Amino acid sequence: MSDETEIEVEIQEPWADDDSSAEAIAEEAGEASASPALPALAEAEAKRDEYLLGWQRTQADFDNYRKRAVREQQAFAARAAERLVTKLLPVLDDLERAIDAAEQHEEAKVIEGVEMTRSALAGALASEGLEEIPAEGVFDPHVHEALLTQPAEGVDSGVIVQVIQRGYRLGDVVLRPARVIVAE
């Protein structure tokens, strides 16, 4: 006769599908250590989200500014070109009249028409700020380009003797230096 008593043992595996035991363990662990950290974590996440939104707004504002600046530059360039072309249209008309006069072989009218056209073009460009570079007196390498040097009687060395091509500047910028011949 044996006195055997049966003992019943229940074994729970951690990988079992029973979620209630995992939740109970998490709750117990959370109550012990995570309670004070949860408000700080939530506050840090809220600040992170706030900073992220602020950064995204700033980035969007900068992108919009950049696009607006490009549009304004293009509009400004278009207006400047429009203004210049409007000033040059009368010059085109004068050239057409000069061509018509040349077809009729009236030399005086052709010369007069070409002179009118040149003065109209010079006036339109001057109104935009174009200035002719003076090519008289002493040679200045900043605004003149010496093509030749030649001996000249009665003229000091370094003085401009002849202008081959006129030079122009727009404001402070030299667009084309005056091409000159300088005395030796």
Classify residue 85: in a domain, yes or no. yes
Question: Do 165 and 122 sit in the same domain of this protein?
Answer: no
pLDDT, one tens digit per residue, over 107-165 is 767 777 788 888 888 888 888 888 999 989 899 999 999 999 999 888 888 999 999 99
Are 95 and 110 within one domain?
Answer: yes
Q: Given this model, what pLDDT does residue 142 score?
A: 93
Same domain, 85 and 135: no
3-state SS string for the chain: CCCCCCCCCCCCCCCCCCHHHHHHHHHHHHHHHHCCHHHHHHHHHHHHHHHHHHHHHHHHHHHHHHHHHHHHHHHHHHHHHHHHHHHHHHHHHHHHHHHHHHHCCCHHHHHHHHHHHHHHHHHHHHHCCEEEECCCCECCCCCEEEEEEECCCCCCCCEEEEEEECEEEECCEEEECEEEEEEC
Same domain, 123 and 164: no
**What does the pLDDT read at residue 24?**
54
Top pLDDT among 76 and 108 is at 76
Q: 183 and 97: one domain?
A: no
User: Which residue would you say has higher pLDDT here, 81 or 177?
Assistant: 177
Q: Which domain holds residue 63?
A: 32-128
Any domain includes 5: no
Together in a domain, 95 and 156: no
Domain presence at residue 48: yes
Looking at the fold, whether 146 and 67 belong to one and the same domain comes out as no
Tell me the mean pLDDT in the region 22-36.
52
| pLDDT band, very low/low/confident/very high, at 17 (cuts 50, 70, 90) | low
Q: How many folded domains does the chain comprise?
A: 2
